[in-house]
Structure 1
């Protein structure tokens, strides 16, 4: 996948991979928390190790949903998209950030 990526873009494949990860890493996420019979989506800051794990998981999930022939091609295409700040994985991060922003009133329920 990295070789296919380098071939398509002409840039260093590791630089593209790093940039793709950087663009997909979430800063905050929401966790469900029950308080007095109702469930709140509480925004929580994401630790660095989990940031990387989520970014890679989202890249692979997004690649699986693509239409290219092989998984290597799908992954390469998704990482190229992510490095340019577009694609499904980046959209996922934006959705998570939007959820956290919408629920920031419940941030005081963090534990």
Structure 2
């Protein structure tokens, strides 16, 4: 981080199939060892499988799943007078998207015993329906913020 000025966000290219920036970010997060074509294949196959099972368009599955997983509030640690408080704060849209992507991918990678595209499609289906591991993570985050609402006045 520079001492002066602001770091500009670089624009990513839109993905080839849907022309969606969020899908591009998702593919880049799935990618391991610089193998982007493999990551694209995994994500597109997962979205196709999920869309086929749900009977809707793949991009609609992706958008609704992401929308369902994005957190609205989270807790941040704040030190006041020697004590550390968990202060609930609203989540910026860019961070909410990043957290949703991270949670979906991490819980997909956590399930072993099947190909990644299958694990990812199951996570997309669960997120689309409003259930599953990534939705539980969002609910836990919201519960934590709700429980610490008394410290909201320490917000900065």
Partner of 1:89: 134
| Distance in 1 separating the partners of 2:60 and 2:142 | 25
Q: Does 1:17 find its partner at 2:62?
A: yes
Does 2:144 correspond to 1:79? Answer: no
**Equivalent-residue separation in structure 1 for 2:106 and 2:89 (angstroms):** 23
TM (normalized to structure 1)?
Answer: 0.95
Structure 1: 4+ residue segments shifted above 6 A:
none
Between Structure 1 and Structure 2, whose CA radius of gyration is higher?
2
Q: Tell me by how many angstroms 1:68 deviates.
A: 4.8
Extract unaligned runs of 5+ from structure 2: 1-45
5 Å-filtered alignment, 1:1-111, equals: 1-111=46-156
Aligned length: 111
The structure where strand makes up a greater share of residues is: 1
Q: Tell me the TM-score normalised to structure 2 length.
A: 0.68
Structure 1, residues 1-50: CA drift from partner, whole Å, max 9, x if none? 11221232222111111111111000000001111111100001001111
| Structure with greater contact order relative to length (CA < 8 Å, sep ≥ 6) | 1
C-alpha RMSD over aligned residues: 1.0
**Separation in structure 2 between the aligned mates of residue 68 and residue 86 of structure 1, nearest angstrom:** 21
